[in-house]
């Protein structure tokens, strides 16, 4: 039995593998602090759960339009337009089961052999995986600690060739929590227009921002017709398991992407979409409370990590990850992450799980209780002391 060759080009997300290993250790009676998975530890706000349950009882149990329910698409367009200053029409929105399928569909729709796509590295591993899968060449754009894990725009400009077709941005970013500011976004938009590039702007962490403003490249001159804005409900509303996300597309891409929806999942769950309407149009105070909790935990983690000799950590402006430099331990990221889990009971991800430029770093998700974070910090300190 032989798989199709393309399967050899498909990567994965290490977070799920580490979770399995951590669970296996727990099954043996070990106490593990989970800092590996990128999801809020909070439950979905009760008003959203109630809307989903009510929808199920109310008969929202059938197929629906592949691009999404009109009422949710209206709510999404209105949300984007008020939060970003865009001018989307509901017809440009496609609702998907999580934000991830937007990546899959965009790469399948736009990329082929001979094309190059620039993506952040370290970055969300699915970008590189999907570029490869679509047959194009992934071109890493390094994110460096010296720039607070923001892009170096001059370096980015140097990566663009006549073959470059797509540029992927992710601000605030996973795994580094780096953020692009307005001036950087303006310069990137100029490059995209000058070189006629598509831009996939992954803005899934836009609401989890502790300082400054979130700037969407879709608002820049000439960008509405070349930007795909990816967002969703997983992070902002603690809805990872519901699987609800969306893309806002230039009109020319709506039909092709909708065709990919029809050919894959048909539509996103109807009841889940009803819950999404409540999430966007209902009270937002729980979102604010979650972000405030994340900010306090960020400060706890950054202070705690910087107090450990041999470790340094920049203060992230958004998302819920810290990306400490552990090169002072003398171990590779992978070695240190393995040791931290097996010997000290902290599940984390090696920076290299997000690309080669993640060597020397760990990703720790602080979507966990302050008590657990303190426990993890103590264990990380012990692990560093044991190897130095």
Ligand X SMILES: Cc1ncc(COP(=O)(O)O)c(C=O)c1O
| Binding stretches for ligand X (CB under 6 A) | 38, 98-100, 124, 170, 174, 202, 204, 232, 234, 240, 245
Q: Quick one: 170 or 184, whose CB is closer to ligand X?
A: 170
In angstroms, the CA 115 to CA 109 distance is 12
Q: Which helix (H) or strand (E) holds 137?
A: strand 137-142
| Residue 168 CB, nearest approach to ligand X (Å) | 10
Structure tokens at 223: 């960008």
351 and 359 Cβ atoms separated by less than 8 Å:
yes
Q: Quick one: 264 or 327, whose CB is closer to ligand X?
A: 264
| Residue 113 CB, nearest approach to ligand X (Å) | 25
| Residue 241 CB, nearest approach to ligand X (Å) | 9
Q: Which residues pair with 361 in a beta bridge?
A: 325
In angstroms, the CA 375 to CA 368 distance is 11
| Residue 246 CB, nearest approach to ligand X (Å) | 9
Using left for φ > 0, alpha for ψ between -120 and 50, and beta otherwise, residue 195 falls in alpha
Angle value at C-alpha 173, between 332 and 190, nearest 5 degrees:
120
| Residue 240 CB, nearest approach to ligand X (Å) | 5
301 and 366 Cβ atoms separated by less than 8 Å:
yes
Q: Quick one: 311 or 321, whose CB is closer to ligand X?
A: 321
Q: Quick one: 329 or 365, whose CB is closer to ligand X?
A: 365
DSSP code of residue 124: -
Q: Quick one: 80 or 384, whose CB is closer to ligand X?
A: 80
Residue whose tokens read 């960008």: 223
List b or e across 84-99, with b for residues whose CB sees 16 or more CB atoms inside 10 angstroms. Answer: bebebebebbbbbbbb
Q: Quick one: 98 or 318, whose CB is closer to ligand X?
A: 98
Q: Quick one: 133 or 379, whose CB is closer to ligand X?
A: 133
Q: 208: closest CA among 189, 229, 231?
A: 231
Residue whose C-beta lies closest to ligand X: 98
28: Cβ contacts below 8 Å, ≥ 6 apart? none
| Residue 124 CB, nearest approach to ligand X (Å) | 4
| Residue 381 CB, nearest approach to ligand X (Å) | 27
156 and 121 Cβ atoms separated by less than 8 Å:
no
List, as one string, the DSSP characters of 39-77: S-SSPPPHHHHHHHHHHHHTT--S---TT--HHHHHHHH
384 and 310 Cβ atoms separated by less than 8 Å:
yes
| Residue 191 CB, nearest approach to ligand X (Å) | 21
| Residue 101 CB, nearest approach to ligand X (Å) | 7
In angstroms, the CA 343 to CA 113 distance is 44
Q: Quick one: 331 or 357, whose CB is closer to ligand X?
A: 357
Q: Quick one: 100 or 226, whose CB is closer to ligand X?
A: 100
């Amino acid at each position: 039995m032989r798989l199709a060759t393309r399967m050899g080009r498909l990567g994965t997300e290490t977070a799920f593998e580490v979770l399995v290993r951590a669970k296996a250790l727990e099954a043996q009676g070990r106490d593990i602090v989970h800092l590996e998975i990128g999801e809020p530890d909070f439950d979905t706000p009760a008003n959203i759960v109630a809307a989903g349950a009510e929808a199920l009882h109310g008969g929202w149990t059938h197929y629906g339009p592949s691009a999404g329910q009109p009422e949710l698409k209206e709510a999404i367009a209105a949300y984007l337009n008020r939060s970003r200053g865009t001018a989307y029409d509901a017809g440009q929105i496609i609702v998907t089961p999580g934000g991830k399928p937007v990546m899959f569909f965009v790469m399948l729709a736009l990329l082929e052999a001979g094309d190059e796509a620039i993506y952040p590295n370290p970055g969300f591993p699915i970008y590189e995986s999907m570029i490869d899968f679509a047959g194009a060449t992934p071109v890493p754009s390094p994110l460096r600690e010296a720039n607070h894990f923001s892009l170096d725009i001059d370096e980015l400009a140097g990566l663009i060739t006549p073959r470059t077709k797509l540029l992927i941005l992710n601000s605030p970013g996973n795994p580094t929590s780096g953020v692009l500011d307005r001036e950087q976004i303006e310069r990137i938009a100029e490059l995209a227009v000058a070189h006629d590039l598509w831009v996939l702007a992954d803005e899934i962490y836009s609401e989890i921002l502790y300082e400054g403003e979130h700037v969407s490249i879709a608002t820049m001159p000439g960008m509405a017709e070349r930007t795909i804005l990816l967002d969703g409900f997983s992070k902002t509303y603690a809805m990872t398991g519901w699987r609800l996300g969306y893309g806002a597309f230039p009109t020319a891409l709506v039909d092709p992407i909708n065709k990919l929806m029809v050919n894959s999942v048909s539509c996103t769950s109807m009841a889940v979409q009803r819950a999404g309407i409540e999430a966007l149009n209902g009270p937002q105070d729980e979102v604010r409370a979650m972000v405030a909790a994340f900010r306090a935990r960020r400060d706890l983690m950054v202070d705690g990590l910087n107090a450990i000799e041999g470790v340094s950590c920049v203060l992230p402006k958004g998302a819920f990850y810290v990306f400490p430099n552990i090169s002072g331990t003398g171990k590779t990221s992978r070695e240190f992450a393995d040791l931290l889990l097996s010997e000290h009971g902290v599940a984390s991800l090696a920076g290299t799980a997000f690309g080669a430029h993640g060597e020397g770093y760990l990703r720790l998700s602080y979507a966990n209780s302050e008590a657990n974070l303190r426990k993890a910090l103590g264990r990380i300190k012990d692990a560093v002391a044991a190897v130095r």
